[in-house]
Amino acid sequence: MELSTKTVDPVLIVSVNEDRIDAAVAIEFKDAMRAETLDGPKIVVLDLSTVNFIDSSGLGAIVASMKHMGQDRTLALAGLTPTVDKVFRLTRMDTVFSLFATLEGALEALCNRPA
């Protein structure tokens, strides 16, 4: 599972370079997220724009990543494709995360500056 990161002060952007986060890669994803967010900015935006499918394992891995970051930090999700967005809403996880349609929108809202 390959993640790429970029810092747009004060936000760390983590991009998922895969088209799915499912049971086959959920643990790998969780480990990679843990490594990328171990230290650093308090606000992390997970860019999901390349992800076309997520299952319950992937969803659980994202929740676990947020919990690992700790309550004093924020994990926001950006660029949700329609199918991924649906899973978050159906499971009510949209109430747990801040969801943004685009990465630009997330950055604007979280740090008042364009990407």
Among 23, 35, 101, 109, binds other proteins (CB under 8 A): 23
Nearer to other proteins, 23 or 109 (CB): 23
Among 1, 8, 93, 111, binds other proteins (CB under 8 A): 93
Nearer to other proteins, 71 or 112 (CB): 71
How far does Cα 113 stand from its chain's mean position?
A: 19
Q: What angle do CA 9, 20, 54 make, to 5 degrees?
A: 90
Specify the length of the chain in residues: 115
Q: How many CA atoms lie within 13 A of 49 on its CB side?
A: 15
Q: Is 71 in the site for other proteins (CB under 8 A)?
A: yes
